[in-house]
């Protein structure tokens, strides 16, 4: 069983909370894993050219191409995304858009796989997590757990954060609250996030170890998708 972690934060690995929390989740699966950061990667969104329809292989040449085999070979994913303007940040969105290539002609490349999603936000970590959960559903991947955590606004590092009125730090704390090494949100000091991450990793590891039946999960996800389609038809 192979688990692939994808950290969608464009930040460096040293600064990003997402990659740290992903590593924590992956460690708690108790299984072998590979963790990839999208930091520094040039990944464009799907351009809808449909050149992947014949063979389920995207023809766009960028940094997604070398990751394709890893995505295909994985049995499960730990996906991390960040809230940028109340939605999933662009590079992770682009990365997941490219999974469109796996869907054509009822190809079952992704069907019945498992995922844990991890959303980070300066204030609201839910929107990126919800977006990644939707991407998983479209690919008939079952999300076994979702983790939300507070990360550090850019204002914590930009050097104007204590006084800049459009920044997240000021918006949340108001005037006069200093930004110090201790006050900058850090997922590795956030007991709730660490506990939720450990639980999610364990859930994923346990499911994969204890009689995971990909066909059964596929049928479950097909039923969920049918309900979604039905609700669209009736809307």
Ligand X SMILES: Cc1cc2nc3c(=O)[nH]c(=O)nc-3n(C[C@H](O)[C@H](O)[C@H](O)COP(=O)(O)O)c2cc1C
Binding residues vs ligand X (CB under 6 A)? 9, 11, 16-18, 82-86, 120-124, 151-154
Tell me the residue nearest to ligand X as measured from the CB: 151
CB-wise, 102 or 135, nearer to ligand X? 135
CB-wise, 124 or 144, nearer to ligand X? 124
* Entry field: residues in the chain: 235
CB-wise, 16 or 139, nearer to ligand X? 16
CB-wise, 119 or 205, nearer to ligand X? 119
> Which residues are paired to 148 by β-bridges?
119
Q: How far is the CB of 85 from ligand X (least distance, A)?
A: 5
Q: How far is the CB of 105 from ligand X (least distance, A)?
A: 36
Q: How far is the CB of 47 from ligand X (least distance, A)?
A: 23
Write the CB contacts of 182 (distance below 8 Å, at least 6 apart in sequence): none
Contact between residue 33 and residue 5 where contact means Cβ atoms under 8 Å apart: yes
Residue corresponding to tokens 């459009």: 166
Q: How far is the CB of 188 from ligand X (least distance, A)?
A: 12
- Of 76, 78, 73, the closest CA to residue 35 belongs to 78
Instruction: Compute the distance between CA of residue 78 and CA of residue 51 in angstroms, rounded to an integer.
Output: 28
Q: How far is the CB of 235 from ligand X (least distance, A)?
A: 28
Q: How far is the CB of 174 from ligand X (least distance, A)?
A: 17
- According to DSSP, the β-strands at 33-37 and 142-150 are unpaired
DSSP conformation letters of 153-219: -THHHHS-TTT-TTSHHHHHH-TT----TTTS--GGG-HHHHHHHHHHHHHHHHHHHS---HHHHHH
Q: How far is the CB of 101 from ligand X (least distance, A)?
A: 26
CB-wise, 85 or 176, nearer to ligand X? 85
CB-wise, 125 or 205, nearer to ligand X? 125
CB-wise, 150 or 218, nearer to ligand X? 150
> Which residues are paired to 5 by β-bridges?
35, 78
Instruction: Compute the distance between CA of residue 91 and CA of residue 84 in angstroms, rounded to an integer.
Output: 10
């Amino acid at each position: 069983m192979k688990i692939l972690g994808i950290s969608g934060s464009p930040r460096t690995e040293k600064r990003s909370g997402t990659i740290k929390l992903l590593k924590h989740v992956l460690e708690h699966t108790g299984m072998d894993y590979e963790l990839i950061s999208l930091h520094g990667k040039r990944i464009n969104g799907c351009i809808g050219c449909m050149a992947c329809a014949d063979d389920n292989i995207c023809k766009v040449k960028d940094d997604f191409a070398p990751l394709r085999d890893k995505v295909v070979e994985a049995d499960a994913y730990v996906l991390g995304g960040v809230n940028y303007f109340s939605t999933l940040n662009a590079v992770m969105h682009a990365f997941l858009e490219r999974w469109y290539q796996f869907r054509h002609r009822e190809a079952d490349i992704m069907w019945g796989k498992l995922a844990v999603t991890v959303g980070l936000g300066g204030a609201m970590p839910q929107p990126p997590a919800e977006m990644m959960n939707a991407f998983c559903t479209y690919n008939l991947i079952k999300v076994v757990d979702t983790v939300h955590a507070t990360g550090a606004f850019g204002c914590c590092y930009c050097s104007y954060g204590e006084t800049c009125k459009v920044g997240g730090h000021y918006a949340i704390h108001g005037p006069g609250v200093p930004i110090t090494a201790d006050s900058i949100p850090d997922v590795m000091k956030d007991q709730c996030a660490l506990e939720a991450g450990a639980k999610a990793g364990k859930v994923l590891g346990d499911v994969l170890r204890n009689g995971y039946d990909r066909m059964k999960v596929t049928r479950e996800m097909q039923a969920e998708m049918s309900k979604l389609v039905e609700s669209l038809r009736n809307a």
